[in-house]
Amino acid sequence: MSKKKVEDLLSEDKQWDGEQASGVENKQASLAHTIVSVVKDAKRESLSEEERSALWRGIHEETQSRNSRRSTLPKNLVALFFLFVIGLGLYGYYVSERGNDIQEAAMAHQRHLSKSGNVQFIGADKKTQVLQDSSPVIYNQLSKLYKSSPDFSALKVRYSSIGVPYGKRSEVVLEDGTKVWLNAGSSLTFPEKFDNNEREVYLDGEAYFEIAKEAKRPFFVLSEVMKIQVLGTSFNLSSYADDDYTSLVLITGKVALLPSKDNSFEKQLLEPGMEARFRKSQHKLLIQPAAETAVSWTNRRLLLNSMNLDEILKKLERFYNADIEISERLAIDETFSGSFDLTQTLPEVLQNIFDVSKYSINQIGRRVYIQTK
């Protein structure tokens, strides 16, 4: 039987049978097979067709160049070392890109979830299922009912999402026991199964978290501008894409706050009763005492603490899935304090803001019109 070089083994688009080689050749074949597996997995997940072609051309040219030079090392070992480094590089690139995968999955899922007026679950296979918003969504039970098609890629993490439209709310229990209350217009993306080293989810919108404590597996919540590291903690995170701010209010425990994307603020440790508020337009993070308003929405109340009118109306539109139109706006810098009972109708709530002797409030379908008399 003719001997095959390592570069020949790697250039073949098939499995190499290690039993066909012996001695050093057998060791080279085994390692070559490992590199092939890593490269194939990495290129499937991260590289385009053009990039794959360029990669293999580079390998071929380099191995030919290596074979044409004189070296104090055996030719096969030089080529093997070179390709082993490439394999490790591709694997490292793939692992580094995994941090972006959950955000990319979240963005892709949101396009599907936004088309429905129901609370929905979407799996890695993009199949959606309508969920009941009147009872908690327990993911361990859900995954048995809506099991997606198997995927045999060892490196690939598969993500699911739960989306809550405007006008509704939902409670989710993740597979580790963490409880998440999702506010109107929010979506939560998470892996089908947390790995052994960490737990990571991505939030768009607003949610209240009660994190299941696991000292050996820290929990990370990613959002548009913040990355939050926790162990056993409860907090409220508001991170709507159309708001100018992202707000984290810590209720119990401790969290480490890190920037994500292009935002530049130093790592912060937050204590209970404190709020971290990042203004997107100013790229500025402010740490301040938290108002008690943070989680009032979970009890169907809206507590106001010097909140301006625009912010109040935006929260009410999300909560009631409505559009509020005002013929004559109040002063933009006017603020309000107090408490709204969100079990009331939207016109009833608005009567707490607008003097009914001066304004008429009428609702037609999803639109509420506020006009001066």
Two tokens, residue 177: 């026991």
pLDDT above 70 as % of the chain: 66
| Position 134 pLDDT exceeds 80 | no
Separation of alpha carbons 330 and 254, rounded Å = 40
Higher per-residue pLDDT: 293 or 324: 324
Q: What is the mean pLDDT of the chain?
A: 77
pLDDT of residue 56: 59
Are residues 43 and 153 both part of a single domain?
Answer: no
The pLDDT of residue 45: 45
Query: DSSP string spanning 208-253?
Result: EEEPPP-TTS-EEEE-SSEEEEESS-EEEEEE-TTSSEEEEEEEES
**Residue 283: HSE in the Cβ half-sphere, 13 Å Cα cutoff:** 7
Query: Cα(96)–Cα(366) distance, rounded to whole angstroms?
Result: 45
DSSP letters, 28-49, are HHHHHHHHHHHHHHHHHHH--H
Q: What is the pTM of this model?
A: 0.69
pLDDT of residue 63: 56
Domain limits for position 144: 114-289
CATH code, domain carrying 212: 2.60.120.1440
185: left (phi over 0), alpha (psi -120 to 50) or beta: left
Same domain, 133 and 41: no
Q: 252 with 233: CB under 8 angstroms?
A: yes
pLDDT tens per residue across span 176-210: 999 999 999 999 999 988 988 999 999 999 999 99
pLDDT tier for residue 333 given thresholds of 50, 70 and 90? low
Q: What is the pLDDT of residue 5?
A: 47
The answer on 165 and 72 residing in a single domain is no
b or e along 319-336 (b: 16 or more beta carbons within 10 Å of the residue's beta carbon)?
Answer: bbebebebeeeeeeeeeb
Confidence tier at 154 by pLDDT (50, 70, 90): very low
pLDDT beyond 60 at 7? no
Q: What is the pLDDT of residues 26-84, one digit of tens each?
A: 555 555 555 555 444 544 444 555 655 655 565 566 556 555 554 444 555 555 555 55
One domain for residues 359 and 330: yes
Instruction: Indicate whether 123 and 271 sit together in one domain.
Output: yes
Same domain, yes or no: 329 and 233:
no
Whether 207 and 182 have beta carbons less than 8 Å apart is answered as yes
Instruction: Identify the band that residue 299 occupies on the pLDDT scale cut at 50, 70 and 90.
Output: confident
Are 258 and 119 found together in one domain?
yes
The pLDDT assigned to 372 comes to 87
Same domain? 134 vs 256: yes
Rounded to whole angstroms, the Cα distance separating 191 from 32 reads 31
86 and 142: one domain?
no
Q: Are residues 275 and 304 in the same domain?
A: no
- Between these two residues, 334 and 130, which has the higher pLDDT value? 130
